[in-house]
């Protein structure tokens, strides 16, 4: 069967920003936010561009969880400036905003809804500008993916929508550890757990493929090795470099294989209780994996896949029974959570019990609306979701 695998061209390692010298293009439209400017990162980028004789214009009004109207403002500025390179410097929100600006610069009459899988016109793309994604965090993977998450105001509420087309994969990703080195400890942990969720969900997803299967074990190995080091010493450049590479590896893998239940629960929960994405997906991860491993039936592919993974990573012995070896994956996640003092249940996260009960049915219907759920190896019923959220609230192991 014909399949596909999409990836940007990637420059990585210390000093990777120097790759800008040889990327063709003179006029750069930079998309970023105020935090990146305050951290001095924007100046690092603009100094580098000046050194290589490139012009630039800066759009720095991106807000976290970007809204349609802000994206439109960026698009207008971009069209006025008429660049031949669009550069996103920042986290997931910045890169997602820039992707949409890129598409709308090419097709100025587009609305957000024109950016979808089924639009054939988008295959004829990137004629006006190439797109360079420079992530400042190590987790989202947006620098490698073909989707942008933007909120639209529909029926009096802000709804997050995923706007995706394979042509939206950035032309280049530049992974320079100088940027994530600036992340505070909590953000470092949260973003690493986001990358871990991308890896572990992608490995058992219905769209898993040999290319993503090859990248995921390495991404997991790097996160387990280097997160504890970055946790102890945020200035350790080697740890930052490898975590940055791991996040992109996981990004390319899940962009091609897809995430599912953990992300559906994380997105839904964040819509009702705004908490950082990585804190939520990292929290739900072990519960959902236990749920997948408990799937009824003769052959449970998640067990076979995680057993193989645990053995490959040296977490289990080659002659261990598959179920025992697969459970090692859950044990190792819990161990890592403990090591970096990660919040492991919703009660501990400070979610009020009454608020939780009151919103439970809304959370579940949001899960069913989230497109991420479609690739799950085990499809939760309404009752399953109720119990998954409730167990995650109480911090109880999944026994169903
Ligand atoms: Fe994520």
Please give the distance, rounded to the nearest whole angstrom, from the Cα atom of residue 254 to the centre of ligand 1: 9
Q: Is residue 97 within 8 Å of residue 73, measured between CB atoms? A: no
Packed helices 322-339 and 301-312: angle between N→C axes, nearest 10 degrees: 60
Please give the distance, rounded to the nearest whole angstrom, from the Cα atom of residue 278 to the centre of ligand 1: 7
Considering the chain, what is the average pLDDT of its residues?
Answer: 95
Please give the distance, rounded to the nearest whole angstrom, from the Cα atom of residue 140 to the centre of ligand 1: 5
Predicted confidence (pLDDT) at residue 155 exceeds the cutoff of 80: no
pLDDT class for 200, splitting at 50, 70, 90? very high
3-state secondary structure of 69: helix
Per-residue confidence (pLDDT) for residue 299, from 0 to 100: 80
Please give the distance, rounded to the nearest whole angstrom, from the Cα atom of residue 25 to the centre of ligand 1: 31
Please give the distance, rounded to the nearest whole angstrom, from the Cα atom of residue 198 to the centre of ligand 1: 6
Please give the distance, rounded to the nearest whole angstrom, from the Cα atom of residue 347 to the centre of ligand 1: 22
Distance, CA of 204 to CA of 201 (rounded, Å): 6
Predicted confidence (pLDDT) at residue 159 exceeds the cutoff of 80: no
* Percent of the chain residues past pLDDT 70, beyond the cut: 100
Per-residue confidence (pLDDT) for residue 371, from 0 to 100: 80
What does the pLDDT look like over 35-56, one tens digit per residue? 999 999 999 999 999 999 999 9
Mean pLDDT, to the nearest integer, of 199-227?
Answer: 97
Distance, CA of 126 to CA of 60 (rounded, Å): 22
Please give the distance, rounded to the nearest whole angstrom, from the Cα atom of residue 282 to the centre of ligand 1: 9
- Helix (H) / strand (E) element for 367: namely helix 353-369
Per-residue confidence (pLDDT) for residue 207, from 0 to 100: 92
Please give the distance, rounded to the nearest whole angstrom, from the Cα atom of residue 358 to the centre of ligand 1: 26
Please give the distance, rounded to the nearest whole angstrom, from the Cα atom of residue 15 to the centre of ligand 1: 27
Distance, CA of 299 to CA of 301 (rounded, Å): 6
- Residue 375 DSSP symbol: G
Please give the distance, rounded to the nearest whole angstrom, from the Cα atom of residue 216 to the centre of ligand 1: 14
Please give the distance, rounded to the nearest whole angstrom, from the Cα atom of residue 256 to the centre of ligand 1: 14
Distance, CA of 393 to CA of 347 (rounded, Å): 5
pLDDT class for 115, splitting at 50, 70, 90? very high
What does the pLDDT look like over 216-232, one tens digit per residue? 999 999 999 999 999 99
Please give the distance, rounded to the nearest whole angstrom, from the Cα atom of residue 194 to the centre of ligand 1: 5
Q: Is residue 254 within 8 Å of residue 201, measured between CB atoms? A: yes
Please give the distance, rounded to the nearest whole angstrom, from the Cα atom of residue 139 to the centre of ligand 1: 7
Per the document, the length of the chain is 400
pLDDT class for 86, splitting at 50, 70, 90? very high
Q: Is residue 151 within 8 Å of residue 65, measured between CB atoms? A: yes
The beta strand positions in the chain, using DSSP E, are 9-12, 27-31, 55-59, 85-90, 130-135, 147-154, 157-164, 172-175
Please give the distance, rounded to the nearest whole angstrom, from the Cα atom of residue 70 to the centre of ligand 1: 22
3-state secondary structure of 30: strand
pLDDT class for 298, splitting at 50, 70, 90? confident
User: What does pTM read for this prediction?
Assistant: 0.95
Short-list 216, 373, 375, CA closest to 384: 373
What does the pLDDT look like over 301-330, one tens digit per residue? 999 999 999 999 999 999 999 999 999 999
Please give the distance, rounded to the nearest whole angstrom, from the Cα atom of residue 280 to the centre of ligand 1: 9
Please give the distance, rounded to the nearest whole angstrom, from the Cα atom of residue 27 to the centre of ligand 1: 32
Please give the distance, rounded to the nearest whole angstrom, from the Cα atom of residue 171 to the centre of ligand 1: 21
User: Which residues have their alpha-adjacent CB atom under 5 A from ion ligand 1?
Assistant: 194
Please give the distance, rounded to the nearest whole angstrom, from the Cα atom of residue 302 to the centre of ligand 1: 20
Q: Is residue 263 within 8 Å of residue 376, measured between CB atoms? A: no
71, two tokens: 């994206």
Please give the distance, rounded to the nearest whole angstrom, from the Cα atom of residue 69 to the centre of ligand 1: 23
Per-residue confidence (pLDDT) for residue 126, from 0 to 100: 93
Predicted confidence (pLDDT) at residue 65 exceeds the cutoff of 90: no
Please give the distance, rounded to the nearest whole angstrom, from the Cα atom of residue 1 to the centre of ligand 1: 28
Mean pLDDT, to the nearest integer, of 155-166?
Answer: 84
């Amino acid at each position: 069967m014909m399949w596909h695998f999409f990836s940007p061209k990637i420059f990585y390692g210390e000093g990777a920003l120097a790759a800008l010298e040889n990327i063709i293009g003179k006029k750069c439209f930079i998309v970023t936010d105020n935090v990146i400017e305050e951290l001095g990162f924007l100046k690092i980028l603009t100094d580098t561009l000046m050194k290589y004789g490139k012009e630039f214009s800066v759009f720095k009004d991106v807000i976290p969880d970007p809204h349609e109207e802000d994206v439109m403002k960026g698009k207008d500025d971009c069209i006025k400036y008429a660049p031949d390179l669009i550069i996103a410097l920042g986290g997931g929100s910045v890169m997602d905003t820039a992707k949409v600006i890129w598409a709308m610069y090419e097709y100025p009459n587009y609305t957000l809804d024109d950016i979808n899988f089924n639009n054939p016109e988008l295959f004829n793309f990137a004629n006006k500008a190439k797109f360079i994604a420079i992530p400042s965090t190590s987790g989202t993977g947006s620098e490698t993916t073909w989707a942008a998450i933007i909120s639209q105001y529909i029926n009096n509420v802000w709804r997050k929508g995923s706007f995706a087309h394979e042509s939206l994969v950035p032309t280049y990703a530049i992974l320079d550890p100088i940027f994530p080195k600036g992340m505070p400890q909590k953000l470092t942990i949260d973003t690493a757990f986001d990358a871990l969720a991308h890896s572990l969900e992608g490995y058992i997803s219905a769209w898993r493929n040999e290319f993503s299967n090859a990248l995921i074990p390495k991404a997991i190995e790097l996160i387990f090795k280097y997160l504890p080091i970055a946790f102890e010493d945020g200035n350790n450049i080697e740890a930052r470099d490898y975590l940055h590479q791991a996040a992109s590896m996981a990004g390319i893998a899940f962009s091609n294989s897809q995430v599912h239940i953990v992300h559906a629960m994380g997105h839904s929960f964040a819509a009702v209780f705004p908490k950082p994405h990585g804190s939520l997906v990292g929290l739900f991860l072990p519960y959902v994996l236990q749920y997948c491993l408990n799937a009824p039936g003769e052959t449970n592919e998640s067990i076979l896949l995680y057993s193989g993974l645990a053995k490959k990573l040296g977490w289990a012995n080659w002659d261990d029974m598959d179920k025992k070896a697969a459970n090692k994956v859950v044990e190792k996640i819990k161990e890592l959570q403990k090591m970096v003092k990660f919040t492991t249940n919703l009660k501990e996260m400070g979610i009020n019990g009454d608020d939780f009960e009151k919103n439970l049915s809304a959370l579940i219907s949001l899960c069913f609306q989230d497109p991420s759920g479609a690739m799950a190896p085990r499809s939760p019923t309404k009752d399953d979701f109720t119990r998954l959220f409730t167990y995650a609230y109480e911090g109880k192991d999944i026994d169903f």
